[in-house]
Amino acid sequence: MIFFGALFTFIVIFISKIVETQYPYKMYNQYETVIMGIPICKYQKRGSFIVSITEKSHDYKKKVPVAGTIGLYNEAFYLIGSDKKMKKPHLYIKITHQCSRTRMKCTKLFIKEIPESKITGPRENVKVYNLGMFDLSGQPVRGSICHRRGRNIIPLD
Cα dist from 58 to 22, 29, 86, 111, 156, whole Å:
34, 24, 22, 9, 11
Q: For the chain, what are the domain ranges?
A: 28-147
Q: What is the pLDDT of residues 56-76, one digit of tens each?
A: 776 555 567 888 999 999 999
Nearest by Cα to 127 from 135, 118, 138: 118
Q: What is the pLDDT of residues 9-44, one digit of tens each?
A: 767 676 766 554 555 556 788 899 999 999 998 888
Candidates 3.90.76.10, 2.60.40.3330, 3.40.640.10, 1.25.40.10; CATH matching 28-147 = 2.60.40.3330
Q: How far is CA 100 from the centre of its chain?
A: 25
